[in-house]
Amino acid sequence: MEVSQLLTRPEAPRVALVVNAGSRRGRDALTQARELLADAGVPVQAHAVGSGLDLEPTLDAVVATRPDLLVVGGGDGTVGAAAGRVAGSSTVLGVLPLGTANDFARTLGIPSHLPAAVTELLHGRVVDVDLGAANDRTFLNVASLGLSVGVTERLTPRLKRRLGPLAYPAATLRAYRHHQPFAAVLEFPDGDHTALALEDLMQVAVGNGRHYGGGNSISPTAGLDDDLLDVYAITRGRLRDHVSIARFLKDGTFIEHERVLHLTTRRVRVVTDPARPVNLDGEIASATPVEFSVRRNALHVAVPARSEAARLDGPDWQALATS
């Protein structure tokens, strides 16, 4: 289904625009995006979010109106909060990447330039993508514990404004210096793998999408539409081991390193003693023990016409096309 079909139905489409004005490029984006949509003949109800405290109540109020298209401008945290609220509904999510990493938009092939992103949205198509779940919380890209939590704690808004995407490697170096290895047990409720007791860990990550951390890849084959979670665990090694791993984070081939365990599954439970915080798409939002699962085709999202990230093949696609 093309987005234009959604916007030209006989019934006037309900289009909402929510922009995180506190994100890296959000200050002027609301006005610009609203004008670009209006110039294209798309009436829109626009909402600005000034702080993290305003985000959830604003999204709750907007989603309660059951928009046909919800366009969200911000980083992965903002987009993820919206995705969790419209998952399982007929609302289509549109993404304007205004954050620092924009990994979800990168996976979908959405350009970072705002006018180009709006153009691709209006001339794009609708697909279904999976969502990850960590207990009762959802995530788009990657959930993790260990080193990544230290990175998140050091990835301050000031550092993001100052360095942009380079804030991620800078925060990683700072976190690496203070990281303490840990132990974890990985259990597989579906019985597709035997339980694993792992020691001396640097990080455990569970990926739903393809990209995370400003363009790193969870694995060469990971995707948003494969009904699988990619799980990897990195054990502590010598400095040169971790330098070697870091060299191949962008294309995901680091999973072939001897210090990295990689597997795919639909459900995995991670247990640690003591409990450890869990990072969901750049937000520390859960803690172990935690069960990760995948929600197949949970979200309708607008992508560029050329995007190969996913297809419209979920159980509700016919209802979406005719509603």
pLDDT-derived band at 102 (thresholds 50, 70, 90) equals very high
Which DSSP state fits 158? H
- Residue, of 238 and 276, whose pLDDT is higher: 276
Calculate the dihedral angle through the C-alpha atoms of 89, 92, 97, 103, rounding to the nearest 10 degrees. Answer: 60
- Spell out the alpha helix ranges (H) of the chain: 3-7, 29-39, 52-64, 76-86, 103-108, 114-122, 147-154, 157-163, 167-178, 239-247, 317-322
- What is the rounded average pLDDT for all residues in the chain? 90
End-to-end CA distance of the chain: 12
Q: Looking at per-residue confidence, does 30 or 241 come out higher?
A: 30
Structure-block tokens of residue 176: 């690496």
Domains of the chain: 3-129+298-322 (3.40.50.10330), 137-295 (2.60.200.40)
pLDDT of residue 240: 81
The average pLDDT across 76-102 equals: 93
Closest CA to 110 of 314, 321, 320, 301: 301
| C-alpha R_g of the chain | 19
Please enumerate in sequence order all residues whose Cβ is within 8 A of that of 136, keeping only pairs 6 or more positions apart, or say none.
Answer: none
Mean pLDDT over residues 54-62, rounded? 95
Residue 24: pLDDT over 60:
no
Taking 80 as the threshold, does the pLDDT of residue 4 lie above it?
yes
Answer yes or no: is pLDDT of 110 > 90: yes
Does the pLDDT of residue 239 top 80, yes or no?
no
Decide: pTM greater than 0.75.
yes
Q: Write down the pLDDT at residue 293.
A: 98
**Confidence at 315, pLDDT banded by 50, 70, 90:** low
Across residues 3-8, what is the average pLDDT? Answer: 91
Q: At what angle do helices 147-154 and 167-178 cross, to 10 degrees?
A: 120
**Under 8 Å between Cβ of 209 and 107:** yes
Q: Is pLDDT at 171 greater than 80 in this prediction?
A: no
